[in-house]
Amino acid sequence: MKKELTREQYLDLYYYMRLNRAVEDMMVKLFRQNKIVGGLYSSLGQEAISVGTAYALEKKDWLAPMIRNIGALLVKGVRPRDVFMQHMAKYDSPTKGKDGTSHFGDLDNLHIVSPISMLGDLIPVMTGVAMAGRYLGQKIVAMTWIGDGGSSTGVFHEGLNFAAVQKAPFVLILENNLWAYSTPVRKQVPLENLADRAKAYGIDSYIVDGNDVVAVFSTAKEAVERARAGEGPILIEAKSFRRMGHAQHDPAEYVPKEMRAYWEARDPIALYEKFLTGEKLLDAKGRKEIEERINTLLAEERDFAENSPMPPPEFAETGVYCTGDDCHKIRAKWERPIAEVTPPRSSVEAVWTVPGFGSGKGSGGAHAPIHFGDTPPAEERSASERKPANTGKPAMKVTTKTASKKTVKTPAASASRKARR
């Protein structure tokens, strides 16, 4: 850890990590009292990732959390009572008791997109949010998270490729916590660093110790500012460990005891407390004040949540579908002249030739010609150009008609077309 932040920033990171853990500890108690009706997923040992990355965002930026990113919600401004009531399916919860887990957001004020259960699907969604913000001139950055297992889904690759092509101001945090439910990373991915997957899409990536909150924040801050400056999406792999099972019902007996012991000794809050103490940023008095502040807050938030009523039965049939303005009003918030993105000022000259296309080397090292629709017709080419290579096989020539001219397609092009089919 490096001493680069202000004292207030250092203590903010500490407070939010402690609050993250205390909120989840409180929910475990509520779960055991049978007051939580939905699933409960722990981020024990991963608090530095959620807190450090979300803390790097500005208020105007957007995020979409996953089930282990309660810390990010707290940093963004979500109250603990909302987290409690959401899991208790109370009427005063963000979803009015219609969801028993973390599927809620705040589009108007906090700029939070609700989580999606299908792993990886938030990547194209947040790419779209990032593109929309750029179109409206808002200069925002969008962020979401994915686990090591979720990075093996098709939509992870489709979404990241889409973000790369569009140079979207988007930051993806890949939480490599070593276990995709009960499957270890080495059984699902033949890579040492999952960040290497960014290379396939021509985007930059970082690898960071996910248990070092200062390193996580510093890395995320740099990535966010680069994305905001127009450098396109960036992938951050944060290496950590999932110290609890997939959910409360999972005892995680498949995890070797030695592995668990190793990572418990690298608890991110304990490591950070040692750093803060060594830098004389936190002493016993300061630690006690923060603990009392959190305990007082959570006692009030829990009481409010427990006293909130359950939704009335007649409410079940409402709110299933959005009915327009009477449901919620969302309007584009322009921060640039609309004329800049409407014709004729937005017109782009049509380009038919692409630099770098035409020929290249195949994976086997052989010459790989590429032919487009502007290939000269066969009758305009010399006999020597049309002469096939001496391969011992009869030459093949396929001629197709277009509206204005004939196009000659080579055996290589024909074979490539068949392979695509």
CA 371/CA 385 separation, integer angstroms:
14
The pLDDT, as a whole number, for residue 343 is 87
C-alpha to C-alpha distances, 43 to 136, 242, 252, nearest whole angstrom: 35, 7, 14
Residues of the chain with pLDDT under 50: 377-379, 381-382, 384, 386, 389, 391-421
Q: What is the pLDDT of residues 81-93, one digit of tens each?
A: 999 999 999 999 9
The pLDDT, as a whole number, for residue 248 is 84
The pLDDT, as a whole number, for residue 144 is 98
- Calculate Rg over the CA atoms of the chain: 27
Q: Give the residue from 317, 337, 366 where a domain finishes.
A: 317
Same domain, 299 and 411: no
Domain that holds residue 52: 7-317
Tokens for 273? 């407390």
- The amino acid sitting at 215 is A
Whether 351 maps to a domain, the answer reads no
pTM, entire model: 0.81
The pLDDT, as a whole number, for residue 355 is 62
The pLDDT, as a whole number, for residue 358 is 54
Same domain, 392 and 261: no
**CATH number for 69:** 3.40.50.970
Tokens for 126? 């947040």
34: left (phi over 0), alpha (psi -120 to 50) or beta: left
Whether 322 maps to a domain, the answer reads no
CA 48/CA 20 separation, integer angstroms:
10
CA 304/CA 308 separation, integer angstroms:
6
Could you give the angle at the alpha carbon of 87 between the alpha carbons of 83 and 92, nearest 5°?
A: 70
Same domain, 309 and 380: no
The pLDDT, as a whole number, for residue 360 is 54
The pLDDT, as a whole number, for residue 346 is 84
The pLDDT, as a whole number, for residue 3 is 52
Same domain, 297 and 390: no
Whether 184 maps to a domain, the answer reads yes
